[in-house]
Amino acid sequence: MPRLLALVWPELRVPEADPRPFERMLDALDDLSPRVEAVDRGVALVEITGLEPMWGPEPRIAARAAMLTRGAAPLHVRCGIGENRWLATLAARLARPSRPDAPAALRVLERAELRDLPLGLLPADPAVRQRFALFGLTRMEQLADLSRSAVGAQFGPAGERLQALARGHDPRPVVPRRRPERVEAGATFETPLDGIGAVSLTLRRLAAELCDRLRERHRAPGRAVLELRLEDAPSLRVEQPFPQPALEPDWIARLLLSRLEAAARARSAGPEVADEPRVASVRLAFDRLSDPAASQLPAFEVRAGRWEELRWSLERMRHRFGEGRLWRAAVDRPTAALPEHRSRLVDIGP
Amino acid sequence: MSTDAAVSPSLANALETLHARGLGLRRGSDPEPLAGDRPAVPSGHPALDAALRGGGWPRGALALLDAPAGGGATSLALATLAAAQEAGGLTVWLDLDGTLDPAVAARLGVELDWLLVVRPRDAAEAIELTAWFGRSGLIDALVLDLGSHAAPDRRALDRLASLLARSGSTAALVLAPGARPVAGAAAGVRVALHRSAWLAVGRDLVGQRVRAVVERHRWALAGGSAELDLWFGEGRRIDALSPALADPRPVEVARPGLRVVSA
C-alpha cells in the first residue's frame, strides 16, 4: 500500500511570500525520497513507500523531512501522512502543533478516520456545499454511504468524484518533479587569499573544468552561482544568468568577477566589514543546463549571432557603469505630436 | 656636432627602412595606422562616400560631423546608421542629452531592433563607453552625440581615437556642436556641413541641401566635397515624391515664408 507524506508551509501560501526558499526545500527533500512533487507553492508531496527500513517509522521520516527543509528556510511546516494524496494533504491540513511555537506538526490520517470528519473539508464549490446541506449531508460518512448512482443522479460527475474522496479514494498518482541538473566545482585555500581579485585564476580554472565536463555531454549552463567563503566576514554569493547557454570559461569568469567586485564594493560601503577580506574557499556551480545547439538563430543570421555575443559585453557594462545606461528603443505612436509620446526606451535586460 | 651629424643620417635611414617595411615604427606626425581590412562603413550618400575616398567612413576612425545645431549632422548620422544596418551591421547611439527621437530614426530607415541606445551620465562616461564598444569589435557604426555639454577632455578623446584605430572595427561619428574645437582636433576625419538651400514642397520645408566638405582625413586625401539632400523625418514620409517634387529655395529668401515640416 502506498504511503505519502504531504508538507505544507503556511508562510509560503500567502501571495506576497518570497517563493525562492521553496525551490531549495524541494532540493533538500530530494535527499529523502526520489519521488517529490511540487503540488503548489508551499505544498509538497513525498512518496515514502518502503522507506521505513532506511529512515525508520513514518513519524521519524516526517521529522527528518521537516529537519531537511528547515535547513533551507526556518519556516513552520505541517506534515500529513496518508495512503493517497487526498488523505495526506487533508492530514497536513488538519495537523496542529503540540505547542504554539513548535516548528512542525504531524497528523497521520487513515481511511477509517475520514468517516467522522465534516463534509465541509471536501474541495467542493459553494453551490454543491449548499445542496449537500439541503439534503442534510453534514459528515463524510453520510455521503460515503450513499449509492454511487444516486449521488451521480443528484450531483453529476463532480458529485461522484467528491463521494470517492469522502470514501478515501484518490487515484491521482504522485508526479515527481525533475530535479534541476546542477554541476559544481570548488577549491579550498590552505593559506587564504588576500582580496577578492586574487580568486580570478582559480575562478577561470573552475569555470574551464565545469565547461569541459558539460561539453562532453553537449550541455551548457544558463546560470552560474559563485560562493566565496571569507575569513572574518560573511560569505559572498553572486548569481549570474547568462545571455545565452554558453561554454566560454573566459567570459563566464570575467562576468562573475565583475559581479563579485560589485557585490564586494556594495558590502565595503557598509560600516561593519573590513576592507580586504581573505578568501578561504571558492565554490562554483552551473545550473539551468540546456542543449546549446537548441538556440540556432545565430546560425542563420550573422547579425543575430554578433548581437548575442555583444550581450556579454553589455552585461559587463551593466556591472561597470550601473543600471539605466543601456536601452533599446520601441516606437509606440509614430505620429504623436510630442517626441516623448512617440517612443519609449526598453531596458535590454539580462 | 660631428658625431651627431654622423649618426643622424644613418638613424634616419634605419628608421626609414623600418617604416617602409611596416615594422611598427612611425613618425610622430604619421597617423595611427588603421587595423583590419574590413570595408568602410557607408554613409548612406554615395556622393559623400566618394568624397571620403574609401567607400565611406573608415573603420577605426573618430569622425567629427561639424555643423551648427539644425545643420543636418543628426540626419547624416542617422543615414549612416541606416546604411550600416542595411549592410548587416550593429549600431549604437550614445545620447548624452537624451534628444534622440527613435520615431524619427525609424522614419529615416534605422532598424530599432539593431540599434542600441546608450544614456551616459556625462561626457567622460560617454567616451569610456565608446571605448568599450570599440574594444568589443562587434559594433560597425557608433554615434557619440555630446550635445551641448561642456567640452570633453582632449586627452580622453585622443586615447579614444587611438584605441578605435587599433581596434579597426567601429566607425565613430561625433556630434559635438558645443565642443567643436576639442573634438575637431582629436578626430581623424572632419566633415563640415554647410547648408546651401532648403528643400520645399509647396510651402512646406521637407529637407535641406548641404555641402559636405571633408576638411580633414588622416588616412586619405582631404578636400573632397559632396552635395547632399537631407530629408527631415517627416520629409521621408513622402519619400518617393520628395526628390521629384522638392524645390530648392535659397537659404536667405525661403526660410521666413516657409512652414517647416519636421518631426
* pLDDT per position as a tens digit, A320-347: 888 889 999 998 888 787 878 888 999 8
Taking the C-alpha atoms of residue B23 and residue B214, their distance in angstroms, rounded to an integer, is 30
Mean of pLDDT over chain B: 83
Chain A residue numbers touching B118 (CB-CB < 8 A): 325-327
Residues B161, B62: contact at Cβ < 8 Å?
A: yes
CATH of domain A182-295: 3.30.1490.100
Domain with CATH 1.10.150.20 in chain A: 114-166
- Residue span of the structural domain in which B107 resides: 40-260
ipTM: 0.77
* CATH number of the domain encompassing residue B250: 3.40.50.300
**Where in chain A is CATH 3.30.1490.100?**
182-295
CATH superfamily of A4-109: Reverse transcriptase/Diguanylate cyclase domain (3.30.70.270)
Choose among B215, B229, B141: nearest CA to B180. B215
Residue pair A289/A220 in contact (Cβ under 8 Å)? The answer is yes
Mean pLDDT on B153-166: 92
Is the CB of A325 less than 8 angstroms away from the CB of B107? no
Q: How does pLDDT run across A180-211, given as a tens digit for each residue?
A: 788 999 999 988 888 888 898 999 999 999 99
Chain B residues within an 8 Å CB radius of A255: none
Rounded-to-integer distance, Cα A315 and Cα A124, Å: 50
> Which CATH superfamily is A114-166 part of?
5' to 3' exonuclease, C-terminal subdomain (1.10.150.20)
The closest CB to that of B112, out of A320, A325, A331, belongs to: A331
Grid coordinates representing B200 are: 520645399
pTM: 0.59
Highest mean pLDDT among B6-10, B148-152, B213-217: B213-217
B100·A329 Cβ contact <8 A? yes
Count CB pairs under 8 A between chains A and B: 75
- Looking at residue A275, its pLDDT comes to 62
Examine residue B165 and state whether it is found in any structural domain, yes or no: yes
